[in-house]
Chains A and B, each alone.
Chain A
Amino acid sequence: MKNLFGKAFKMFIRDRQAILMFFILPILFMLILGFVIEGLSGSATGVNVKIAAFISSSSLENAITKASSGTGLEFIFTKSVDDLNELLDDGKAQMGIIFKNDDFTFVYNQSFGQYNNYLKILQDVISSSVVNALSNVKPYIQIRSLSVKSGNLTVIGFIVPGVISIAITIAGIFGMAIIAGNYRQNMVLKRLAVTPLNGGSFFFSLAIVRFIASLISASLTVVLSEIVFSTSYDINWFSFLIFISSGIILSLGIGVILALLSRDLWTILNISTILSITMMLFSDVFFPYSIMPFYMRVISKMLPISYFSEGLRYTLGIEAMHYQDFAILTAVFIISGIAMIFFGGIKILKLERK
């Protein structure tokens, strides 16, 4: 076993592709997705929405400035419609409003067309409060918003763990599936199948090396994300390392299972690609459950990555989680991951022995 591990380690560090997959890719993913989602988050999550506003008639000015200050949203008042359009074009505002006496026109950036649905909630909020101000409706009730979570957390800080979990999962699945698929295709496994070697321990040695690499790169990614996005996590390193390990083990396990599906490396790559895209799009990493249609919520709940990012947020001190839930999650990840690697490995070699 020790010998096997040593060989697996040597093969790994000599494999440029593996290094790329396990070190460069997660960091690249974290940066790109992090920034793309951060750029979006303004509108997609409604937390940072900036609104450009142009008031065409001076009689409205008072009421509107008063009303806008009550919404808790950031308004940028412009001098002309062109200025407003420019702010939208540059993405400096996610929504523009042109106030006229009898009508309000809400202007969206073209590319945000698809997010209208959320912005339309805001449209309702803003127009009713402006109308109220114009009609001199007095506030009979008001809202006092109380944060149940103290601490100075940013939206991006909430998103980044999701991105990290995506990056690590994809690296794990691809990394393991490619190496196993490669060995299968190139008959390396067939050669091993004629030896008394146990398939479980062979794949285990491959997995351990990748696990260590992944663990290092995950920690690196978190630290780097703190620097790049100034997320100021309150990391519980002990649970972080344990949990991220469990997540890595699971994704490596899934990689082994995928390699089981076909002898053809291309087919394995295809399946991994589709799976990665599904995981990215349908987990609650990009968008919250609450605005997902029903079918999407169902798929999202079935994807381990949703739980991975949930647990990760907990260990980074962003989200609260019951300790027993966390323990169960970690245990399930580890046990199912190890089982997949071990039994998947045995099964693969068995397939070769046929």
Chain B
Amino acid sequence: MKAFWKFFKLHLLSDLRNRRSIFWVVIFPILLLVLLILAFSNLGTNGALNFRIILINESGASGLNFSDRIVDIVKSMSYPNKNAVFTLTEMNPDQKDSAIEKVLYADADILVVIPKDFDASIARSVLLSKLGMNFSPATLDVFYVPNRASSSLAQEMIGGLTGKINAFFAGTLGQKISSVVIKDEILGEIMGSPSYTDFVTPGILVIAPFTTGLLLVAPKLSFLRANRVMRRYASTPMNPVSFFFGFTFSRTAIMVIQYIGLAFFAVFVMRSRIDIFSLTAFFYYLFSCAVYTAIGFAVGVAVSSAVAVSALSSVVNLPLEFLAGIYFPLFNLPWYIKIFVYANPLWYATNAMRELLRVSQSQSPMWMNILIPGLWLMISMGFALTKRAAERK
């Protein structure tokens, strides 16, 4: 027991005094959370949309000003107006070719051309409509690049605009527009419109202990082995169990500190609405800590160089995290990628944490969220122990 406490205390101290450990334990997860939220939380929000649109009005002065109305509407939706979504450039009809080129060369997202006969065509339509006769609509030409996301999104926006303009014309002609209530809901959500911050926080609470398990277990074990410290321990009457639990619990203590720190940071600084007082989430977290520590043990036993372990794990980390659906949800993956997702303990942990922190329902059943990481735990530990036993011939 004496030795257990010493191991616990000293391994903890050794890491808390270490700048490198502090980086991976504290700074990295916080930085990652902040970066992710900075990158994604405002994506596509009102202030963020900014499509570069070129407008050419070929329809000359004809007394009718329908085309001018269109120009006005687009202008009202452009900067520097409030709630703008466009940056508008108006060009002359003789510059059409260069405008198309601009769209092609990605200097603009979209080109809208109001054709020559536009005003006349609308006038005719309105007239025919009043007479109750059929008419063909006036056409706005939209030039875009279909596979370029910003361009096709802009085209979509203009599409939405025409619906509103049509309704507006109908309204001016006295037609009654039926009113419909628009509601939205998010399937499987628990907290009510989770934001990106809410979505990603449980994932960060998975990455953080995983990184700790990999970088504060494996290289450390490699170090202890390479420098004969383990052998030195073995030559004393100390029971190896004291080392194992002292070391493991010191890792767990670090992970618990991470949990508390990160959860509070997410809730009080980043305004995440996760349920930080969820006991089940905390217990699941402890369970994952055991899994990641075991994986760390296995890696530490398998790879003897501490440098190699840390270099590789910091690189391999990223793909693993992508395949856990931490940053983005995972959909439509081919089977050979899906295998990695279904085998990835981080995926289950992320799912479970999202549910237990009351963000959204788990995409995998809860028993799987325990079973698969549990298998990882057992296989890793089994591997570490047999390899270790084999070394003590």
Which residues in A have some Cβ–Cβ distance to B below 8 Å?
17, 20-21, 25, 28-29, 31-33, 35-42, 44-47, 71-72, 85, 88-92, 96, 102-118, 120-125, 127-132, 134-149, 153-155, 157-158, 170, 174, 178, 182, 264-267, 269-270, 272-274, 276-278, 280-282, 287-297, 310, 318-322
Q: Which of A36, A106, A108, A264 contacts B330 (CB 8 A)?
A: A36
Q: How far is the CA of A320 from the CA of B108 in the complex (A)?
A: 12
In-complex Cβ contact of A294 among B47, B145, B315 (8 A): B47
B176 within 8 A of A: yes
A264 to B311 Cα, complex, angstroms: 12
Which residues of A have CB within 8 Å of B49? 121, 290-291
In the complex, how many residue pairs between chain A and chain B have their CB atoms under 8 Å apart?
355
Asked if residues B146 and A47 are in contact (CB atoms below 8 Å), the reply is: yes
B147 adjacent to A154 (CB under 8 Å): yes
**Nearest residue in A to B122 (C-beta to C-beta)?**
A140
Q: Give B360's nearest chain A residue, CB to CB.
A: A110
Cα A270 to Cα B19 in complex, Å, equals 11
Distance in angstroms from A153 CB to nearest chain B CB is: 4
Asked if A145 and B187 make an inter-chain contact with CB atoms under 8 angstroms apart, the answer reads no
Decide if B170 touches A319 in the complex (CB within 8 Å): no
Tell me the B residues contacting A by CB distance below 8 Å. Answer: 20, 23-24, 28, 31-32, 35-36, 38-45, 47-52, 70, 100, 103-106, 109, 111, 122, 125-126, 129, 135, 137-150, 152-160, 162-167, 169-170, 175-189, 193-196, 198-200, 307-308, 310-312, 314-315, 317-319, 322-323, 325, 328-334, 337, 340, 360-361, 363
The 8 Å CB contact of B150, one of A96, A103, A289, is A289
Inter-subunit contact B330/A39 (CB<8 Å): yes
Q: Whole-angstrom distance between the alpha carbons of A141 and B51 in the complex? A: 22
CB distance from A29 to the nearest CB of B (A): 7
- CB neighbours of B150 from chain A (8 A): 288-291
Q: Known: A110-B187, A281-B39. Contact between A47 and B160, CB under 8 A?
A: no
In Å, the complex CA distance between A149 and B188 comes to: 40
Q: Which residues of A contact B162 (CB under 8 A)?
A: 139, 141-143
The answer to whether A143 and B139 have CB atoms under 8 Å apart is: yes
Give min CB distance, A213 to chain B, whole Å.
Answer: 16
| B178: contacting residue among A96, A135, A266, CB under 8 A | A135
Please report the C-alpha to C-alpha distance between residue A33 and residue B330 in the assembled complex, in whole angstroms: 11
Bound Cα distance from A90 to B200, whole angstroms: 20
Given contacts A146-B143, A269-B310, A290-B49, contact A39 B31 (CB under 8 A): no
Residues of A within 8 A of B147 (CB): 47, 149, 153-155, 157-158, 318
Distance A47 CA – B145 CA, assembled complex (angstroms): 11
A63's closest neighbor in chain B, by CB? B178
Residue pair B48, A293 in contact (C-beta under 8 Å): yes
Q: Are A105 and B43 in contact (CB under 8 A)?
A: no
CB <8 Å contact, B106 and A319: yes
CA A347 to CA B170, docked complex, whole Å: 72
* Cβ–Cβ contact A287 & B149, under 8 A: yes
Q: Would you give 20 A-B contacts (Cβ < 8 Å), ordered by A?
A: A20-B312, A36-B330, A40-B328, A96-B187, A108-B186, A111-B325, A113-B194, A125-B160, A128-B163, A131-B178, A139-B166, A140-B137, A143-B159, A158-B147, A264-B20, A267-B20, A270-B314, A290-B150, A296-B39, A320-B105
> How distant is the Cα of A242 from the Cα of B257 in the complex, in angstroms?
50
Q: Specify which chain B residues have a CB less than 8 angstroms from the CB of A21 in the assembled complex.
A: 315
Q: Which residues of A contact B183 (CB under 8 A)?
A: 103-106
* Bound complex: CA A252 to CA B132 (Å): 70
B232 CB, nearest partner CB in chain A, Å: 24
Known: A118-B44, A140-B166. A278 touches B35 (CB 8 A): yes
A258 to chain B, nearest CB (A): 13
Residue of B nearest to A283 (CB): B39
Nearest CB of A to B5, in Å: 29
Minimum CB–CB distance from B315 to chain A (whole Å) comes to: 6
> With A17-B308, A103-B183 known to touch, is A38 a contact of B332 (CB < 8 Å)?
yes
Q: Which of A88, A146, A297, A318 contacts B187 (CB 8 A)?
A: A88
A91 touches B184 (CB 8 A): no
**Distance, CA A135 to CA B135, complexed state (A):** 17
Q: How far is it, in angstroms, between the C-alpha of A319 and the C-alpha of B31 when the chains are bound?
A: 34
A293 touches which of B43, B149, B180 (Cβ 8 Å): B43
Given A125-B160, A135-B176, A291:B44 Cβ within 8 A: yes
Q: How far is the CB of A60 from chain B (nearest CB, A)?
A: 10
A121 to B177, CA, bound (A): 21
- B152 and A46 within 8 A (CB): yes
Across-interface contacts of A109 in B (CB, < 8 A): 186-188, 329
What's the Cα separation between A121 and B149 when bound, in Å? Answer: 14
Please provide the 9 A-B residue pairs with the shortest distance between their CB atoms, ordered closest to farther.
Answer: A91-B331, A111-B329, A45-B149, A128-B163, A117-B44, A125-B160, A114-B196, A288-B150, A110-B188
A295:B193 contact, CB within 8 angstroms? no
